[in-house]
Chains A and B, each alone.
Chain A
C-alpha cells in the first residue's frame, strides 16, 4: 500500500502533504494542550515496536500464507488517535527514508492513506463507539468480543478507505491508463482479505493486552467478573466465518460485475485493438501489436525505403535526435563515472 513517488503528480503530492500536515498540526496542538511530556518516549517506543512488529509473519491457519498486523488501529487503541497518528507518521517516514518503502514526496499521501484513516476514522467512528457501547453483554467477555469486533471492522474499513484513496490519487495523477472502475475492482477485494487478516491479528494482540493490563487501552474500563458466559473462541469462529462469507461474496460480486475488471480489461483492450488495426492498415499496411511483430518485420523490410529518416520536420526526426541525444547523455554519464574512478585511484596512490 506504500505509494512510490513515481505514482503521483506534483500537484496531488502537494495536496496530500497539505491535508496530512493540517491533521498533524491539529494533533500536535491537542497533544501540547494535554501536556503529557512522558507520552513522548511511550510514543517512540511503541512506534518502534509496531515498526518491528509489522515484519513478523503470522501463519494463517489452513492456508499456508502469512499475514501482518495493522499498525494504525493498534496505535490509536493504545495511545489515542492524535499520538497514534504522529507515531504512524514517524513510522512511515523511517520506512520511506531508510527502506525506500514509499517515497519522500509520496509521504503526505501515504500518511493520509494509512495513518489518517487508521487512527482517526478507525478510532472516532469505530473503536470508541463500539467500546463505549453495551453490545455483546456486560463484563469481561462482552468487552473481549467488543475488542475483536472493533478491530476487525476497524481494520477492514480503514484498509478499504486507504486502498480507495490509492486508486483515487493515482488516477488523479494521470499515471495509469487503467480505467478507474477496474482499478478499484482490482484493489478493493485484495485489501478486503488483507484487512480481515490484519484485523484478526490486531485483535489478538489487543486482547492479550486487555487480559493483562486493560488500563493501557483507550476507552476500556477495567472490569471484574466474567459477565455472561460465551466462549470467545466460538465468537471469533463465527465472526471469521461471517467475514469470509461476506468477503467472498463481495469479491465475487466485484469480479463478476459487468463494469468490473474483466470487462474493462478485455472489453477496452479489444476496442483499442480494433482502432489500432484500422489505423495501421490504412496508413502503413502493417500490424503493430507486439504479437504481430514477427510478421511485421518481414513486411516492414520491404517498406523501409519509404521511411522518412532524413526528413527533419516530422515527429520521427525529433524523436530520433532525442534517442541519439539520450545516448550521448549516457556517454557523458559513463565519462563522469570513469573520471570519478580515475581521481579516486589517484587519491589512494598519493
Chain B
C-alpha cells in the first residue's frame, strides 16, 4: 500500500504493508534511523516520535493509522539546520548521553514535557520520563538536562549548533 506521510514538515510517500509500524517505515523506508528499536512492545521508549506533538511509540503505531498527522522525529526536532532544540542543546552542554542509543527517545519525550510544562518539578520529570529506559542509567543527567533546557527555553537563548 502507498501512504503519503507528513514527516518533519515534508511530504513523503512509502509503499509498505498497512500494519508496518512507523518505527520500521522511518528506519528502513525513509532512512531516518535516529528513531531506535529497543523492545518492539512499547516498554522502552527508544522509538518515541511526536504525532501532532504528542509523544508516541513508533513501534506500536501502524503506518495505516497515521494519516495526515504531523510526524516529528529526532531528525526534525531542531528548529533549523543551524540551531538545536533547547533539549538537544542541553544534552550536549551537560554531556548527558553515554552509549546514546536511547537518547533520541529521551529527548523527544523531554521536548514534549517542556512544551506542556515549561518549569517541571523533579516529580513532573520522573513522571513524564518513566516510560523511557536508559540502560546506561544516565537518569541523573537526564533530570539535570531537562532543568537546563527549561532554563534555556525560559531565557529565550538562541542556541547555535
A, B co-complexed: no
A residues near B, CB below 8 A? none
Q: B residues within 8 Å of A by Cβ?
A: none
